[in-house]
Structure 1
Amino acid sequence: MTILGHKGEKTSRRLALASMFALGGTSLWIGCLAITDTQTALSASLRGVMVWWEVLFPALFPFFVLSELLLGFGIVHLAGTLLDPFMRPLFRLPGVGGFIVAMGFVSGYPVGARLSSRLMEQKLITRNQGERLVAMTTTSDPIFLIGAVCIGFFGSLQAAPILAVAHYSGALLLGIGSRFRVRKSEELEDVKAPSPQGNRFRAALAAMHKARIADGRPFGILLQQSLTSSLALMMIVGGLVVFFSATLDLLVNSGMLNLFRDATASLLQLFGLAPNLSLAFMNGTFEVTLGAKAAASDSGLPLIDRVAVAAFVLSWAGLSVHAQVAGLMSRTAWRYIPFARARLIHGLLAMLIVYLAWPLFRVGKTADTSLPAWSPWFSWSVTESGKSFPIVPAAWPPILFLVIIAAMVITGTIAIGIRNFRIRRETR
């Protein structure tokens, strides 16, 4: 055992040393490229700042502040007690996971990682549960998916329904599939909430009150600290977006990514897809916005292929989002490799769902800017080239939240019924 322990320590040290040299060498090389090609680095950085300021900051900052306030007021504990009977049979997750799933889907990445890291620090969820929650809730928000990708890049609302179905249902399927990866030892470490006696709603209110008393911060201090921490986090998000945007342009202009692009093009041809889509995969590997824009840019390609690639890019989320999640989870025992594997599986699932569900949606062969029948829901709009395009329905976030909760209630009820039936059958 001692010899095996020494060998394991030596292997881990070698891996850590190799990764340190690899990251250090890559950073040095990117720095040299930025010095030799300052114009590319500057223009790419300015583009990253524009994306952060015009898209990410208004979309993410309110949800960062809101998540901190909800944690301080004990709303997470309230939702956890109410959703516990549904989340455990369906996902093998505590009830607070339902709140994280709803918030993650409505607000987009990396809010799910933000909430998961806080709950892991408070010992409300285990490492395995936190990793599975982060993998399932690292999704795009509806504003970005509909407004930026469908309206801004594809120039049409027709791709919105199928893209949303593929993206969010792929995340739910990933969460349901991950429940079977729970080992016996990890199940014993599960932080199980005691079953409330009597009215569950009263128990939820009691849990909320207890959490609020334990927090103890007055509203003014809580709001101030929420704003301060959210602003600091937004600066980190902006820095990562700018860094990966500049890195991508520098690597492309230097020709270092030609091999990756050619290999991706050959792989796409093997599966019968257009090799021109390799640019979208290459850009999406680093930054989700650039990848989605590249997927929609070539209007000569079939719309189904471009939507499928956009679904993959949104689900993979780009190394920029990966770095944001890693930064948020750095103070926990979270592991990156399972997260990266889950992102790849989510991307492939989303692509598969697009191709399977395409006949169910009336999507034309070419992009069309005409509004669907449910267009009166839309209240926010943007004017481009003399035309006014809707961005997102004002009622979409709460409607999506209620749809997610309703789906969890229905599936959870079915799962509980099946479990009770099996228990009764075994006790006979």
Structure 2
Amino acid sequence: MEPINSSFRSRFHSLSLGMVALFLVISIILFPEQAFQSSLKGLKVWWDVVFPALLPFFIASEIMMGFGVVHFLGVLLEPLMRPLFRVPGAGAFVMAMGLASGYPIGAKLTARLREQELITRTEGERLVSFTNTADPLFMFGAVAVGFFHDATLGIIIAIAHYISSLIVAFMMRFHEPHGPATPPPEPDPTFVLFRAFREMHHARLKDGRNFGQLMGEAIHSSIQTLLLIGGFLIMFSVLIEVLKQAGITELFSSVIGGLLTLVQFPSELSGSIIAGVFEITLGAQAASQLPNSIHMAYKIAIVGAVTAWSGFSVHAQVASILSKTDIRYTPYCLARILHGIIACWITLLLWNPVGDYIQSNSTSVPAFFQEYPVTGWDSIAKQISFFGWKMVSIVLILVLLSIFIRFIHQIRTKQF
């Protein structure tokens, strides 16, 4: 009986995928003008924003991995990452790059660590669940300033996003508790910095590529990944538009509106949720266009939820990147759902003590929070400088925490 059920599921899966593909083709034929314009819109977002913003970080991360910087940070940050998140210290590199640069660099670097066998499959599933986050430029620049015209709202969006991400990270440490783990480093009396440099040197020698070869392969790999991301952006832009033209989004919106009413949320938020399920930018924009009768706390809570969820467009990118390894997509998807729920809840929880204070004292914040580099090729140097310093700051904070934890551990070891 089991083989028959398995065969039925396989055939049903094939039929479903075929019907989806057929629907997409027929919709493009029925709405050619709308499909063409939405395709151009997705291409413009990719070329003006995604490509110049992510290319330098993709190349830099590949070069740093080739030169053993990941191994260097792994030795320094092992006392922090393994006890808290049950991942090796090398995961701190992915965490810093993900927090500074946004989707989907966390998934890209997690896959690279798995390919180099620096993490196990279980550790990779834990790591990608909390390192593939939104970047500050999107939350402050695109959402707070671009859609809501108030940079101070980006503060509470970012606070809720990163706090909920850390909560998810701690919860995911219980994912497959008996799963395989990379062995912890052997006790070594050598000073930690010397050990870190030694591991970096050995990793560079093991890699064996000179700078020119490493740079060429880094550029080739980065552009391939960005072309893949661009294709997903264009296709999901078209898909969202044809679903709207076919009236399917209105059907889903009415169903979700009823569910929102049950949990005492305004039913008008359903449209922004539907858009955000597919693409975070469209969801945030739809939330900003809701009438003033809906309290700002609900709008920002929905923005926080769809930003944490990240949309099917990012999910497709992550699934494609992870498919080259044995890291499974399902734990990542469940973690994104959990992240969205927690981010929404934290936004509402913090709104009264934080949101009202921020908006009433908005004149004291712009010097730090509003000077974000604009997107596009003309400001690529400013973006590299801005996000590069953010990444360095995050790494330094993690290193200091790791040194403190190591110091406390040594004191306790001497006492006992």
TM-score, structure 1 normalization:
0.87
1:398 is aligned to 389
1:386 is aligned to none
1:265 is aligned to 257
In the alignment, residue 166 of structure 2 is paired with which amino acid? L
How much has 1:54 moved relative to structure 2?
1.6
In the alignment, residue 236 of structure 2 is paired with which amino acid? F
Does 2:197 align with 1:205?
yes
How much has 1:381 moved relative to structure 2?
5.8
The verdict on how the C-alpha distance between 1:281 and 1:289 changes in structure 2, with shifts beyond 3 A counting, is: same
Task: Provide the rounded CA distance (Å) in 2 between the counterparts of 1:11 and 1:337.
Answer: 22
The verdict on how the C-alpha distance between 1:115 and 1:346 changes in structure 2, with shifts beyond 3 A counting, is: same
Task: Provide the rounded CA distance (Å) in 2 between the counterparts of 1:333 and 1:424.
Answer: 41
Does 2:303 align with 1:310?
yes
How much has 1:128 moved relative to structure 2?
0.8
Deviations 1:110-145 (A, max 9, x none): 101111101111111011110111111121111111
How much has 1:402 moved relative to structure 2?
2.5
Residue from 349, 363, 366 that aligns with 2:356: 363
Structure-to-structure mapping, 1:189-268, within 5 angstroms: 189-268=181-260
Task: Provide the rounded CA distance (Å) in 1 between the counterparts of 2:57 and 2:329.
Answer: 24
The verdict on how the C-alpha distance between 1:23 and 1:196 changes in structure 2, with shifts beyond 3 A counting, is: farther
In the alignment, residue 328 of structure 2 is paired with which amino acid? R
In the alignment, residue 208 of structure 2 is paired with which amino acid? G
How much has 1:376 moved relative to structure 2?
5.6
The verdict on how the C-alpha distance between 1:316 and 1:212 changes in structure 2, with shifts beyond 3 A counting, is: same
Task: Provide the rounded CA distance (Å) in 2 between the counterparts of 1:140 and 1:154.
Answer: 18
In the alignment, residue 136 of structure 1 is paired with which amino acid? F
Pairs aligned (count): 409
How much has 1:255 moved relative to structure 2?
1.5
The answer as to whether partners of 1:105 and 1:139 remain within 8 angstroms in 2 is: yes
Task: Provide the rounded CA distance (Å) in 2 between the counterparts of 1:378 and 1:292.
Answer: 19
2:27 is aligned to 33
The verdict on how the C-alpha distance between 1:159 and 1:359 changes in structure 2, with shifts beyond 3 A counting, is: same
In the alignment, residue 332 of structure 1 is paired with which amino acid? T
Task: Provide the rounded CA distance (Å) in 2 between the counterparts of 1:263 and 1:420.
Answer: 58
- Identical counterparts, % of pairs: 36
The verdict on how the C-alpha distance between 1:309 and 1:405 changes in structure 2, with shifts beyond 3 A counting, is: farther
Residue from 340, 346, 349 that aligns with 2:339: 346
> Gaps spanning 5+ residues in structure 1: where?
1-5, 384-390
Q: Secondary structure in 2 aligned to 1:46?
A: helix
The verdict on how the C-alpha distance between 1:420 and 1:120 changes in structure 2, with shifts beyond 3 A counting, is: farther
The answer as to whether partners of 1:79 and 1:204 remain within 8 angstroms in 2 is: yes
1:145 is aligned to 139
Q: Secondary structure in 2 aligned to 1:257?
A: helix
Task: Provide the rounded CA distance (Å) in 1 between the counterparts of 2:122 and 2:182.
Answer: 9
Task: Provide the rounded CA distance (Å) in 2 between the counterparts of 1:397 and 1:372.
Answer: 25
The answer as to whether partners of 1:157 and 1:368 remain within 8 angstroms in 2 is: no
The answer as to whether partners of 2:79 and 2:405 remain within 8 angstroms in 1 is: no
The answer as to whether partners of 2:94 and 2:131 remain within 8 angstroms in 1 is: yes
1:20 is aligned to 14
Deviations 1:45-84 (A, max 9, x none): 1111111112211221111111111111111111111101
The verdict on how the C-alpha distance between 1:419 and 1:13 changes in structure 2, with shifts beyond 3 A counting, is: farther
The answer as to whether partners of 1:311 and 1:350 remain within 8 angstroms in 2 is: yes
Task: Provide the rounded CA distance (Å) in 2 between the counterparts of 1:415 and 1:205.
Answer: 18
Task: Provide the rounded CA distance (Å) in 1 between the counterparts of 2:160 and 2:387.
Answer: 17
Task: Provide the rounded CA distance (Å) in 1 between the counterparts of 2:69 and 2:384.
Answer: 26
2:39 is aligned to 45
The verdict on how the C-alpha distance between 1:279 and 1:359 changes in structure 2, with shifts beyond 3 A counting, is: same
How much has 1:276 moved relative to structure 2?
1.4
1:326 is aligned to 319
The verdict on how the C-alpha distance between 1:399 and 1:37 changes in structure 2, with shifts beyond 3 A counting, is: closer
How much has 1:93 moved relative to structure 2?
0.9
Deviations 1:361-386 (A, max 9, x none): 25389x89965335167545669xxx
RMSD of aligned residue pairs (Cα, Å): 3.0
The verdict on how the C-alpha distance between 1:62 and 1:418 changes in structure 2, with shifts beyond 3 A counting, is: same
How much has 1:401 moved relative to structure 2?
4.8
Q: Secondary structure in 1 aligned to 2:221?
A: helix
Does 2:73 align with 1:79?
yes
The answer as to whether partners of 2:104 and 2:318 remain within 8 angstroms in 1 is: yes
How much has 1:197 moved relative to structure 2?
3.4
1:175 is aligned to 169
Does 2:325 align with 1:335?
no
The verdict on how the C-alpha distance between 1:424 and 1:392 changes in structure 2, with shifts beyond 3 A counting, is: same
TM-score, structure 2 normalization:
0.90
The verdict on how the C-alpha distance between 1:315 and 1:100 changes in structure 2, with shifts beyond 3 A counting, is: same
Task: Provide the rounded CA distance (Å) in 1 between the counterparts of 2:99 and 2:131.
Answer: 6
The verdict on how the C-alpha distance between 1:317 and 1:381 changes in structure 2, with shifts beyond 3 A counting, is: closer
2:378 is aligned to none
